[in-house]
Structure 1
Amino acid sequence: MTPAAPPSSFASLLERLFGRWDSYIPKELSETPELLRRSRLQIRFGWMGGLFGLAYSLFYAFASHWWGVAIILVCSLAFALIPSILRRTRDLRLAGHLFALVLFCGFTGLCAIEGGLYGHAIAWLASIPLCVLLLLEIKDALIWSALCFVSATVFGLLEVAGVHVPHTYSPEWEATISFAGYCGLICFMTLLGCIFERTRRRAFQQMEAALAQLSSANERLVRLHQEKDEFLNIAAHDLKNPLCGISGYAELLGFYASPTPAQISETSTVIQKQCKRMLDIIANLLDVQRIEEGSIQMKIINCPVEPLMVKMTSSYQLRAEAKNIRLNLLVRAARVVALADEHAVEQILDNLISNAIKYSPPGTTVDCGLALDGGTVAISVADQGPGLSEADQANLFKKFSKLTPRPTGGESSNGLGLWIVHRMAQSMNGNVECQSQLGKGTTFTLTLPQGSVEELAPKMPRPLTRPLFSPANPPPPPWKLVAGSAAG
């Protein structure tokens, strides 16, 4: 086992020591920065005060000042026990008053055996109100200040009355003990100030971090509120048009005294189309909500990609033909398996192919490609539409983004589809990228981790081999055209 590295500095040693001491702080006393600051101060005050008193008692023992040794040892032991009392009672006020009581009794007792008004211990009484002020409240400090004033007054009146408080140690040690007492008071006050300043800084840093988190949460709430408003505006606007269409055609159907089958068929077709448009809008809005809430659970499995692409391209053949668009499926590698969620891949392909047809002018081609690139599966959808500017590409995967190109057949767009696609791809450890130039079309590429073909080999269908080209006119290698459609 590798031995622990020595501390790099005294500061790091104190950091580790204080970190262990903080484990004594009850959970209830760490809920706010102020409670945590006072708890830390009392823990450090108790144990460091106990060590300080122990060192002082050793000096008194060296001077054979045994009454002083007894008083300081009792006070040091009480100091060291107060952090445990705090941990058990979870009462900061009780612990703070215990500290003040120990100090008051200890310094008053030292005054009684070290010359009263002429001993150094009388000066230590002045430190008690400051300690209470740091540990408790101002009103508590005022109470103990009054008690210390009374104690000092008693010893002063005794001297005025001619009653001299005795020294219980050898007179030859008087100067040394007084000198050590006053120097110790300076060190004690300095140590107390350092402890206070360190806890204050740490509490201030935690308060700043909490305020930063609160500010970030407020900004997020403002953003969510704005998105909610935009959400509702888009939903109302996008649902209004198909609803008006449904209402209008239903009203038109009522004008016919005896509608013909052709009129009924035409009207119902339009109504169905508008209903599907509304369902697509609602589905997108629900998907956004589920993604934001994190309630979409991806089932990542070995997913054969080629059958999905055949299914999706086949479902869009009629729509492509209606706009005189050629829809091709190009497979560069057969029996491709991706680690993905099958339904999510279907939804992504549905969106990308739908957009390609939606924004492509008549007489153009949309190519859906499938290939392996290292350890990833690459699915591409390329159109020959108007392309995207750099500004459009920068906003491409943002929620509610409205792009410059407009649908070529009057289709609708609410700016949510590509955001959903991007988030779903990321949820499957994949990505969606766009390559586009103005006037030269756009290619979207979905990349997913490659799965294991061997595990699915018995279940996978044989790859399709239905080329549109004749043997005399094959497609350029290494691509193989496995499905396609051409209108006109």
Structure 2
Amino acid sequence: MILKELERYFIAPRHHADAPLFYRYKLLLNASVFTSLFSSLYLIVSIAIRFQPGVYLMIFNVAGFLLLPFLMKTRMPIRTIGNLYVTTGTLAVVILIGYSGGIESPVFPWLIAPPVLALLTAGKMDAIAWATVSLACITTFIVYTIPGNPFPVRYQHDTRLFFVLLSSSGVVLIVVTISMIFESNTSKALASLTQQKKALQESQEELAARHQEIVEKNNTLAAQKEELLITSEQLKELNEKKDYLMEVLAHDLKSPLANIQGLIGLINTDHFQAGSVENDVVKLIVDSSRKSQVLIDKILNSENLENIVYNLRLETVDVSAIVSKVVDGFREIAARKNIQIKLLIDATQHCMATADKVYLVQVFENLLNNAIKFSLPGKQVFVSVICNGALVRTEVRDEGPGIAQDEMHMLFKKFKKLSNKPTAGESSSGLGLSIVKHYTELLKGRVWCESERGQGASFVVELPSS
């Protein structure tokens, strides 16, 4: 626990990410702490045997080894600190040997420690250098002793056996301690490597499973892509058939409409009074058949139904006049259901817009037809046209049941039928409002609905004014 706290304090956080470097810092810190404790023990022994140089040297060692960890908090390289650690210990050992009998000194075997300590704290090359230093020291002591130059003994001679025992035990303790530190850190490193290997193996297995999953998904996507291609071809074929059928239908309708127009031409309208109901009915039939003929011609002149936009014939039109004419055409239909159409247009104001007259009529006819279709007898439909600066705003408002909020998103979509039903059993294809939206957007305008349940509905069309 204490060592953990010392590691947290002395080893800078920046070193924790580099596992080998952190291991060297940790080993040097542990070695400094244990060597300081070991020196403290020999300080006590030196006092006991009255070995004055030993006392001073052990005090120096204790202080030196306790100060070394503070260098770890600086930017000094770990290799330099490790060599300072070995230098401190080696100087103390050499001086102790010199004051305790030279090669006869119980401390003499300690000269094996510097290269071992250097290997653990500094590095392989430094260990070789310190091994050379140790051999040089041993050689020097032996060469100096051969001519009969004894080294002084500064400890109490009658404690020699005790000093030999402690010194020999010290060598064993140094080797065992270093070995235990090395073994402990090595075991942790091996355990960490084992755990990393296991984690790597699990990751590889997971990646293999993911790879297999991706392969299966790719196969599924390939199959789905093939199905989509087939479906796309089928839809393309069906669309071509639909266009063909519509063209056939439009073509076949030309003959009945031509016959209707021919029969109307045979009707003698001279005996009809001007402004009479009969005369107005005949005019409405003529007008309706002509408009139908124009729409059919547009379809037949298109390469396909999606290209009707290319048949736009834009011109400056009086929206007020077009709306008035559409309303007049629906008054008879509204009267049959006892519904009154209120036209709210300023007679002095002409709201002009650039549009295709045929499509614009279709927009207003569909909106007015819906308003009448979904209104109960005795109700009113209000139609207004307002010039609003750069916009011409047309509104068709009814007094029908209104539209539920959860159904508003279905408005203007093809073949979407709402919960409201026509009030007189009229047919409803679900296409009218989608046509309104499509034609309005072709004319660079926009359309929307404002409604609350039970409060009727207002459909607003805005077109750029000209």
TM-score by length of 1: 0.48
Q: 1:177 to 1:263 in 2, by over 3 A?
A: farther
| 2:59 pairs with 1:73 | yes
Paired letter, 2:3:
F
Q: Secondary structure at the match of 2:50?
A: coil
Partner Cα distance (1:100, 1:251) in 2: 89
Q: Secondary structure at the match of 1:117?
A: helix
CA deviations over 1:31-66 (Å, ceiling 9, x no partner) = 344333322211111011101101110111122211
Paired letter, 1:155:
F
Residue from 163, 181, 186 that aligns with 1:195 = 181
| Contact kept in structure 2, 1:113 and 1:166, CA below 8 Å | yes
Partner Cα distance (2:130, 2:57) in 1: 20
The equivalent of 1:174 in structure 2 is 160
Q: Secondary structure at the match of 2:194?
A: helix
| 2:6 pairs with 1:21 | yes
| 2:17 pairs with 1:41 | no
CA deviations over 1:70-103 (Å, ceiling 9, x no partner) = 1121122111221221232363212211121111
Q: Secondary structure at the match of 2:202?
A: helix
The equivalent of 1:242 in structure 2 is 228
| Contact kept in structure 2, 1:37 and 1:200, CA below 8 Å | no
Structure 1 position 130, deviation (Å): 1.4
Partner Cα distance (1:87, 1:138) in 2: 24
| Contact kept in structure 1, 2:27 and 2:181, CA below 8 Å | yes
Q: Secondary structure at the match of 2:245?
A: coil
Structure 1 position 144, deviation (Å): 0.3
Q: 1:263 to 1:117 in 2, by over 3 A?
A: farther
Structure 1 position 109, deviation (Å): 0.8
Partner Cα distance (1:97, 1:199) in 2: 20
Paired letter, 1:158:
Y
| Contact kept in structure 2, 1:49 and 1:80, CA below 8 Å | no
Alignment map for 1:327-406 (pairs within 5 Å): none
| Contact kept in structure 1, 2:80 and 2:122, CA below 8 Å | no
Residue from 209, 213, 225 that aligns with 1:223 = 209
Partner Cα distance (1:104, 1:263) in 2: 110
The equivalent of 2:121 in structure 1 is 135
Q: 1:212 to 1:35 in 2, by over 3 A?
A: farther
Partner Cα distance (1:241, 1:96) in 2: 71
The equivalent of 2:78 in structure 1 is 92
Partner Cα distance (1:207, 1:66) in 2: 49
Paired letter, 1:198:
S
| Contact kept in structure 2, 1:33 and 1:206, CA below 8 Å | no
Partner Cα distance (2:6, 2:243) in 1: 90
Q: 1:244 to 1:182 in 2, by over 3 A?
A: same
| 2:142 pairs with 1:156 | yes
| 2:92 pairs with 1:106 | yes
The equivalent of 1:59 in structure 2 is 45
Q: 1:68 to 1:239 in 2, by over 3 A?
A: same
The equivalent of 1:343 in structure 2 is none
| Contact kept in structure 2, 1:85 and 1:95, CA below 8 Å | yes
Structure 1 position 255, deviation (Å): 6.1
Q: Secondary structure at the match of 1:87?
A: coil
Q: Secondary structure at the match of 2:244?
A: coil
The equivalent of 1:260 in structure 2 is 246
Structure 1 position 166, deviation (Å): 0.7
Partner Cα distance (1:168, 1:31) in 2: 50
TM-score by length of 2: 0.50
| Contact kept in structure 2, 1:34 and 1:203, CA below 8 Å | no
Structure 1 position 137, deviation (Å): 2.5
Structure 1 position 230, deviation (Å): 2.2
Q: Any gaps of 5 or more consecutive residues in structure 1?
A: 1-15, 269-310, 316-488
The equivalent of 1:116 in structure 2 is 102
Paired letter, 2:4:
G
| Contact kept in structure 2, 1:57 and 1:69, CA below 8 Å | yes
Report the number of matched residues.
254
Q: Secondary structure at the match of 1:183?
A: helix
Partner Cα distance (2:129, 2:118) in 1: 9
Paired letter, 1:84:
F
Paired letter, 2:245:
P
Structure 1 position 256, deviation (Å): 7.3
The equivalent of 2:195 in structure 1 is 209
Partner Cα distance (2:194, 2:76) in 1: 26
Paired letter, 1:127:
A
Q: Secondary structure at the match of 1:258?
A: helix
Paired letter, 1:132:
A
Partner Cα distance (1:147, 1:130) in 2: 12
Partner Cα distance (1:210, 1:88) in 2: 31
| 2:131 pairs with 1:145 | yes
Partner Cα distance (2:249, 2:151) in 1: 120
Q: 1:82 to 1:263 in 2, by over 3 A?
A: farther
Partner Cα distance (1:116, 1:141) in 2: 24
Partner Cα distance (2:148, 2:36) in 1: 36
Q: Which protein has the bigger helix share? A: 2
Partner Cα distance (1:248, 1:61) in 2: 104
Structure 1 position 162, deviation (Å): 2.0
Paired letter, 1:97:
N
Partner Cα distance (2:232, 2:117) in 1: 79
Structure 1 position 263, deviation (Å): 10
